[in-house]
């Protein structure tokens, strides 16, 4: 397997494929923890859900970008990516906890764009912190 990874295009394809599959899995997990249906709300034109979901997608992709950059193997990259996702998911729950006067999910489902925008910025911003925390090889 290591001999195959000598070819940049094979390594790129492998990292891309694993990252894409992980992103799909992680979006499914986010779908489970939210009280609304992301894709149905986006289909209905809910901008707040679109912003929050876009932030999650960017956040996970950014974490994988850093994990690819700082990993020797595909398995190590996946491990850092999973850890980063768990931290990002934890951040989502912290955001909900820190706003006891209203429910984040309910506000986003009601198309409160201010809350959707802040959710997006939290996902994007913390993905940079998480990515910078990944230990270099």
Can you list the residues of the chain whose pLDDT is less than 70? 1-5, 136-137
Q: 55 is in which domain, residue-wise?
A: 4-133
pLDDT score recorded for residue 86: 95
Q: Which residues lie closer than 8 Å to 112 by C-beta, 6 or more apart?
A: 48
pLDDT score recorded for residue 8: 83
62-98: pLDDT as tens digits: 999 999 999 888 899 999 999 999 999 999 899 888 8
Please give the tally of structural domains in the chain.
1
């Amino acid at each position: 397997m290591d001999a195959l990874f000598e070819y940049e295009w094979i390594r790129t394809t492998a990292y891309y494929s694993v990252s894409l599959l992980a992103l799909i899995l992680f979006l499914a997990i986010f779908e489970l923890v939210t009280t609304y249906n992301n894709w149905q709300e986006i289909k209905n034109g809910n901008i707040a859900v679109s912003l929050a979901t876009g932030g999650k997608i960017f956040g996970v992709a950014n974490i994988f970008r850093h994990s690819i950059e700082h990993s020797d193997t595909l398995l190590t990259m996946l491990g850092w990516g999973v850890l980063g996702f768990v931290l990002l998911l934890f951040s989502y729950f912290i955001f909900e906890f820190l706003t006891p006067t209203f429910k984040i999910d309910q506000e986003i489902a009601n198309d409160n764009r201010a809350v959707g925008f802040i959710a997006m910025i939290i996902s994007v911003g913390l993905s940079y912190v998480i990515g910078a925390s990944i230990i270099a090889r």
